[in-house]
Amino acid sequence: MKKVLLLLANGFESYEASVFTDVFGWNLYEGDQSTELVSVGLHSVLECTWGHSCIPMRQLDEIDLKEFDALAIPGGFEQANFYEDAFSEEFLAVIRYFDQQEKPIAAICVAGLAVAKSGVLTNRAGTTYRFENNPRQDQMRALGVQVKSDERIVEDRNIITSSSPETALDVAFLLLEKLTNQENTQEVKRRMGFSR
Q: What is the CATH number of the domain that holds 28?
A: 3.40.50.880
Q: Is residue 181 part of a domain?
A: yes
Residue pair 167/74 in contact (Cβ under 8 Å)? The answer is: no
Instruction: Give residue-wise pLDDT tens across range 138-157.
Output: 999 999 999 999 999 999 99
- For residue 133, the model assigns a pLDDT of 75
Nearest Cα residue to 148 out of 81, 31, 159, 172: 159
Q: How far does Cα 128 stand from its chain's mean position?
A: 12
Residue pair 29/9 in contact (Cβ under 8 Å)? The answer is: no
Q: Is residue 196 part of a domain?
A: no
Q: Is residue 59 part of a domain?
A: yes
Q: Is residue 164 part of a domain?
A: yes
- For residue 196, the model assigns a pLDDT of 60
Q: How far does Cα 103 stand from its chain's mean position?
A: 13
| Separation between Cα atoms, residue 117 and residue 78, nearest integer Å | 15
| Separation between Cα atoms, residue 81 and residue 110, nearest integer Å | 13
Which residues of the chain, if any, have pLDDT below 50? none
- Please indicate, yes or no, whether the overall pTM of this predicted structure exceeds 0.95: yes
- For residue 28, the model assigns a pLDDT of 97
Domain that holds residue 22: 2-191
Element (H, E) at 106: strand 105-107
What residues does 187 pair with on adjacent strands?
none
Count structural domains, the chain: 1
